[in-house]
């Protein structure tokens, strides 16, 4: 098997980011339903927040890659 | 409308299947000529992951369908100086494997590699059709599969390809430096030329048609430009937005253009923004802009956060200093990972045809999977179209927010 531990690490990182982005998306939908006129602001902030959560997952994935290479 | 979509799907199905057949027929008839006496190279199982990596990596030839456009190679080795020649001299085949060696350099899967053995002739020599994968120790002392080339019935080890991504994806710092105009560089030049022409003509149109409604390509770019200006630059940068607008716009349109260019099927599928070196340069530029424009307020909050107890500061300061470097690092990785993942998924969906059809042996399964994977690929590519815009937008908005945080005036 090639890099099986790495795969587990990447999977765990994705779970965390998935929960985070899911929360952001769900709350943004709720917010839009409550205040449809603010959809532009909410969408921009949602993407920004999702990008920041993704950053944490990306670092985890790179660490997984590096530990595989080393 | 529906008829056109159906026609397009059929056309795509057909072209993917014809590629599948082309690949399938290659294997039984391998090595009809050019055998230099090292025997038949081993054909392993079809590996979709490796195939995908091969297709998304940068190359020294530009392949559009069956045509291989040679590109100039500028190679520098400290021990023998510059070698400048056209990559057409490698006589590459459909897989990007050259069967000529030039100056001790060979072309393996589209990338120039150097032969490590000093006894290898420097002139142009024939090295057979296929590289031979064998386990050997690389320059870093670790054992892995390394391509060898065959010359005069003897195998010669090749060095890793020369890339700037620190060896994360198979390349690394080697005994030679590859300054060639590669596929990615050509794509970048094409996009820059296109955008220079487009934006200069749009700027002229604004001068000529002052006060009138926008026309032609002007009306396509204007809403995008205004969106970035009003949704990104103004809210994050406050009254300084005009100073940073050119930088933000250059970033946005450069990334967007290259993202979209990489999406065009049958045009080489260049993966420019999915190249770690290129996203690294973009992130370094952002890092420099943010930190050179950071005011006293910004540095104070990093080095000695006001309003917290001293013992907290000893923990906070290292974290904040790390944060300065982590911000551009995540910018670099986010763009790279999103674009690379998109390209890989598309290639792997196409690779499913070879996997289920056993590389052309099972024609029925090939046909069936070709239809399925075409639909999946179409679906993926439409998502990738969205991702191309979102990632360009995210890179710009994060840059704007970092600049905004660094230049904000104190207000407490």
Model ipTM value: 0.77
Three-state DSSP class for residue B77:
strand
Tokens linked to B76: 């520098």
| Contacting residues of A for B398, CB less than 8 Å apart | 48, 51-52
Domains of chain A, each with CATH number or no CATH:
2-69 (1.20.20.10)
- Which residue has tokens 């391998």? B30
Are B333 and A65 a contacting pair at CB < 8 A? Answer: no
Three-state DSSP class for residue B133:
strand
Give the Cα-Cα-Cα angle B287, B288, B291 (nearest 5 degrees). Answer: 80
Categorise residue B92: left if φ over 0, alpha if ψ from -120 to 50, beta otherwise: beta
CA–CA separation, B253 and B395 (whole Å): 11
CA–CA separation, B149 and B99 (whole Å): 9
**Higher per-residue confidence, A53 vs B170:** A53
For chain B, the residues whose C-beta falls within 8 A of a C-beta of chain A are 167-168, 231, 326, 329-330, 333-334, 337, 390, 393-394, 397-398, 401
| Span B315-324, pLDDT tens digits | 899 999 998 9
% of chain B beyond a pLDDT of 70? 82
| Contacting residues of B for A55, CB less than 8 Å apart | 326, 330, 333-334
Residue B3: C-alpha distances to residues B6, B7, B135 (Å) = 5, 6, 52
Tokens linked to B49: 């992951």
CA B145 to chain centre: 23
Mean pLDDT across the stretch B351-377? 82
| Span B60-111, pLDDT tens digits | 888 887 788 888 888 888 887 888 888 888 888 777 788 788 888 888 878 8
CA–CA separation, B50 and B351 (whole Å): 10
**Rg value, chain A, Cα:** 16
pTM: 0.82
Q: Which helix (H) or strand (E) holds B94?
A: none
| Contacting residues of A for B390, CB less than 8 Å apart | 47
Are B337 and A44 a contacting pair at CB < 8 A? Answer: no
Are A47 and B394 a contacting pair at CB < 8 A? Answer: yes
Phi/psi of residue B297, each to 5°? -55, -45
CA–CA separation, A5 and A63 (whole Å): 12
Interface-testing mutation among B163, B334, B338, B404, with chain A (most A C-beta atoms within 10 A): B334
Of residues B337, B394, B398, nearest to A58 (C-beta): B337
């Amino acid at each position: 098997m090639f890099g099986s531990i790495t795969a587990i690490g990447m999977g765990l990182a994705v779970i965390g980011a998935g929960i985070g982005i899911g929360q952001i998306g769900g709350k943004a939908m709720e917010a839009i339903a409550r205040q449809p006129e603010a959809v532009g602001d909410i969408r921009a902030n949602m993407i920004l927040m999702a990008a920041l959560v993704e950053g944490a997952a990306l670092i985890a994935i790179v660490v997984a890659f590096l530990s595989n290479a080393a | 409308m529906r008829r056109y979509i159906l026609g397009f799907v059929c056309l795509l199905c057909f072209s993917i299947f014809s590629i599948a057949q082309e690949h399938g027929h290659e294997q039984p008839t391998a090595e009809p000529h050019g055998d230099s006496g090292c025997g038949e190279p081993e054909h392993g199982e079809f590996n979709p992951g490796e195939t995908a990596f091969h297709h998304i990596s940068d190359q020294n030839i530009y392949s559009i369908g069956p045509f291989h456009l040679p590109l100039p190679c500028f190679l520098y080795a400290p021990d023998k100086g510059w070698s400048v020649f056209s990559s057409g001299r490698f006589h590459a085949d459909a897989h990007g494997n050259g069967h000529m060696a030039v100056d001790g350099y060979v072309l393996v899967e589209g990338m120039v590699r150097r032969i490590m053995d000093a006894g290898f002739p420097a002139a142009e020599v024939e090295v057979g059709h296929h590289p031979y994968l064998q386990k050997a120790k690389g320059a870093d002392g670790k054992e892995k599969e390394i391509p060898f080339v065959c010359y005069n019935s003897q195998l010669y080890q090749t060095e890793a390809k020369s890339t700037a991504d620190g060896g994360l994806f198979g390349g690394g710092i080697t005994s030679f430096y590859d300054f060639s105009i590669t596929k990615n560089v050509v794509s970048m030049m094409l996009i820059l030329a296109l955008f220079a022409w487009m934006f200069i003509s749009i700027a002229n149109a604004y001068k000529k048609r002052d006060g009138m409604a926008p026309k032609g390509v002007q009306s396509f770019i204007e809403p995008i430009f205004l969106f970035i200006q009003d949704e990104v630059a103004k809210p994050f940068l406050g009254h300084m937005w005009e100073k940073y607008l050119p930088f933000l716009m250059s970033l946005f349109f450069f990334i967007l253009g290259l993202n979209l260019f990489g999406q065009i099927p049958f045009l080489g599928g260049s993966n420019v923004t999915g190249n770690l070196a290129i996203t690294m340069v973009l992130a370094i530029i952002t890092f420099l802009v943010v930190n050179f424009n950071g005011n006293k307020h910004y540095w104070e909050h990093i080095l000695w956060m006001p309003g917290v107890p001293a013992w907290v500061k000893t923990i906070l300061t290292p974290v904040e200093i790390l944060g300065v470097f982590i911000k551009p690092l995540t910018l670099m990785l986010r763009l790279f990972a999103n674009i690379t993942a998109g390209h890989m998924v598309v290639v792997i969906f196409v690779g499913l045809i070879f996997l289920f059809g056993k590389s052309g042996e099972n024609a029925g399964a090939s046909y069936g999977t070709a239809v399925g994977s075409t639909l999946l690929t179409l679906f993926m590519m439409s998502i990738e179209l969205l991702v191309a815009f979102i990632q360009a937008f995210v890179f710009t908005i994060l840059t704007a927010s970092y600049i905004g945080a660094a230049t904000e005036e104190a207000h407490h």
